[in-house]
């Protein structure tokens, strides 16, 4: 009996240990791999279009862990990852994905899923990353997501999500590190409870409809490295009290919110002084806020800044000499402000500067020759000021220029032939100035121009240079409103990419070349107000895309072409 009792006791222990092992090593039947497979097959049935056949192997005959986009855990007991990115699936985001209770990552990005974010996703207790960017989801962000205690990443940008943000999301999901709710229709205040997420590194709320002031609890987020709240309706002063508490901040984007600078919108110094604590700041965007004041002492900023966007504001005064301290700067945009004065010589020390925007300001000095020493410039925009004097020959030193905008100034003298060295130009605009002399044939070296060349509304004279025919990639060519003479060269037919040609308001003579019909991409052709004569080329009727043709105020004769199929405008009187 004793032996039997001992054996029974041992057997009972074995049964208990086996049951315990089973409970530890295996999920109960209602949370099994088979349940996961059933949920995924149900999801497939809701998909109405699968352009890349991504879900082709989602089948009963295939092991679920081998489904495309699916990964299981080490022991293949549960589905842990469902990742379908850029698959352009069309269908409903179904609630029964919540049966994948072992899921840690759910990413269905850049598809066309519709419906709401299912409240049932609160069952995904192990979920660490939820990414549903770039779909057609609507409704609100369900309160039930606050029941996901392990959630670290939440991305639902680029949908049609509306409503307000639930405070409980930030009150309970304290592990959050990355939140991207951008490009939706979210409204209301940013919850004060956001300060309960001490690990939050990135907060992207841009392009929504948030209102009110920024919550004070943002000051608690000492780990914050990126905050983007552009294109909302947030008010109040620039967040001076916050930025000084964000030593790890790298990206600060506040643009297009109606905030104000200090001292009744006249003082930028306080905010920029606070930024002195952000020693690794790389991008600062304060555009379109109507903030006022003088540009601050830039020497107090860290030496990591790459992009400084201050356009569309009310910043006045001159650019300070301390701009030279921003030695790592790539992009400086000061467009549409009230700036005047000279450009400081120290700007030439910005050896990495690639984009400089100074248009639509009040500069009234001579052309700032110092800019010709910024040899890495790919874009230079000085348009819509009152810069005067000649364009220096040293402009040809900027051989990396892709875009040069000097239009709408008071520039005089000749177009420098050295511009021909800037062989990477895509856009060249010298229009609305007082430039004289001939069009330099060296401009034919700009054969990479693909967008436009605009020399209109100047005082240029001499023959229309035949060398322009070498610009076979140019889409728009505008030399109107000058004093150009001679004929329109037959070689113009080589400009096969041209969609717009405007030689109007000049002194051109002779006949229109017959090979104009070779310009198959031509949509607009204007040679009005010249002294052209002879027959109108019949080949113009062969240009299917031609929708605007102005031959008026010349001495042309012959049959009027019919032009393109729809929307054709013809001016011949």
Q: Model confidence over 419-468: pLDDT tens digits?
A: 999 989 999 999 999 999 999 988 877 776 788 999 999 999 999 888 88
d(CA 119, CA 115): 12
Which CA distances in Å does 467 have to 373, 463, 506, 512? 29, 11, 18, 17
Helix (H, G, I), strand (E, B) or coil at 571: strand
Give the CB-side neighbour count of residue 464, counting CA atoms within 13 A. 28
Averaged over 1-10, what is the pLDDT? 37
pTM for the model stands at 0.89
d(CA 178, CA 208): 17
- Give the rounded distance of the alpha carbon of 210 from its chain centre: 21
Question: CA 234, 146, 192: angle at the middle one, nearest 5?
Answer: 30
d(CA 101, CA 320): 59
Residue 299 near residue 266 (C-beta atoms within 8 A):
no
Residue 294 near residue 264 (C-beta atoms within 8 A):
no
d(CA 447, CA 426): 9
d(CA 184, CA 162): 7
Q: Would you state the pLDDT for residue 302?
A: 77
Compute the radius of gyration of the chain from its Cα atoms.
33
Q: Would you state the pLDDT for residue 564?
A: 52
Query: Is the pLDDT assigned to residue 9 strictly greater than 50?
Result: no
Which CA distances in Å does 388 have to 357, 360, 367, 368? 18, 15, 6, 9
Strand segments (E) across 322-418: 331-333, 338-339, 355-357, 379-381, 388-390, 403-405, 410-414
What pLDDT, in 10s, does the model give residues 330-358? Answer: 999 999 999 999 999 999 999 999 999 99
Q: Would you state the pLDDT for residue 256?
A: 98
Q: Would you state the pLDDT for residue 287?
A: 98
Beta-carbon contacts of 160 under 8 Å, excluding residues fewer than 6 positions away, are 136, 137, 138, 184, 185
Q: Would you state the pLDDT for residue 568?
A: 65
Q: Would you state the pLDDT for residue 31?
A: 60
What pLDDT, in 10s, does the model give residues 538-573? Answer: 889 889 899 999 999 999 998 877 655 555 677 776
d(CA 487, CA 466): 9
d(CA 508, CA 529): 9
């Amino acid at each position: 009996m004793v032996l039997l009792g001992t054996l029974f006791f041992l057997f009972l222990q074995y049964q208990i240990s086996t049951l315990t092992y089973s409970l530890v090593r295996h999920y109960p039947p209602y949370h099994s791999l088979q349940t996961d497979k059933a949920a995924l097959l149900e999801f497939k049935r809701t998909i109405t279009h699968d352009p890349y056949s991504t879900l082709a192997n989602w089948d009963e005959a295939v092991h679920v862990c081998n489904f495309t986009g699916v990964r299981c855990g080490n022991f293949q007991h549960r589905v842990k990852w469902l990742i379908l990115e850029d698959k352009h699936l069309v269908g409903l985001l179904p609630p029964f994905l919540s049966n994948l209770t072992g899921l840690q990552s759910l990413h269905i990005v850049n598809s066309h899923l519709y419906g709401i974010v299912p409240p049932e996703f609160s069952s995904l207790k192990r979920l660490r990353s939820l990414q549903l960017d770039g779909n057609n989801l609507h409704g609100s962000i369900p309160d039930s997501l606050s029941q996901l205690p392990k959630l670290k990443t939440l991305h639902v940008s680029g949908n049609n999500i509306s409503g307000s943000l639930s405070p409980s999301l930030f009150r309970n999901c304290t592990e959050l590190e990355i939140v991207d709710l951008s490009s939706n229709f979210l409204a209301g205040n940013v919850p004060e409870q956001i300060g309960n997420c001490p690990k939050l590194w990135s907060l992207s709320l841009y392009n929504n409809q948030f209102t009110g002031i920024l919550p004070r609890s943002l000051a608690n987020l000492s780990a914050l490295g990126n905050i983007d709240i552009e294109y909302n309706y947030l008010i109040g002063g620039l967040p001076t009290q916050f930025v000084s508490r964000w030593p790890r901040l790298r990206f600060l984007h506040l643009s297009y919110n109606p905030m104000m600078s200090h001292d009744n919108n006249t003082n930028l110094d306080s905010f920029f002084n606070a930024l002195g604590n952000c020693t690794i700041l790389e991008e600062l965007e304060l555009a379109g806020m109507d903030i006022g004041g003088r540009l601050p002492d830039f020497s107090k900023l860290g030496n990591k800044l790459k992009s400084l966007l201050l356009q569309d504001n009310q910043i006045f005064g001159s650019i300070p000499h301390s701009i030279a301290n921003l030695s790592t700067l790539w992009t400086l945009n000061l467009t549409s402000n009230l700036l005047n004065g000279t450009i400081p010589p120290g700007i030439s020390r910005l050896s990495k500067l690639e984009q400089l925007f100074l248009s639509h300001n009040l500069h009234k000095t001579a052309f700032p020759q110092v800019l010709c020493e910024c040899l890495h410039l790919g874009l230079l925009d000085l348009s819509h000021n009152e810069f005067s004097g000649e364009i220096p020959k040293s402009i040809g030193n900027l051989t990396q220029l892709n875009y040069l905008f000097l239009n709408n100034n008071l520039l005089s003298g000749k177009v420098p032939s050295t511009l021909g060295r800037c062989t990477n130009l895509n856009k060249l605009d010298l229009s609305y100035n007082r430039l004289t002399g001939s069009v330099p044939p060296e401009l034919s070296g700009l054969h990479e121009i693909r967008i436009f060349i605009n020399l209109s509304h100047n005082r240029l004279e001499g023959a229309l240079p035949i060398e322009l025919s070498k610009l076979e990639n140019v889409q728009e060519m505008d030399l109107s409103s000058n004093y150009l003479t001679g004929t329109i060269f037959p070689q113009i037919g080589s400009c096969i990419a041209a969609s717009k040609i405007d030689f109007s308001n000049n002194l051109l003579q002779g006949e229109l070349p017959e090979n104009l019909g070779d310009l198959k991409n031509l949509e607009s052709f204007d040679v009005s107000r010249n002294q052209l004569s002879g027959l109108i080329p019949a080949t113009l009727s062969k240009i299917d895309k031609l929708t605007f043709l102005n031959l008026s105020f010349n001495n042309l004769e012959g049959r009027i072409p019919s032009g393109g199929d729809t929307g054709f405008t013809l001016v011949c009187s």
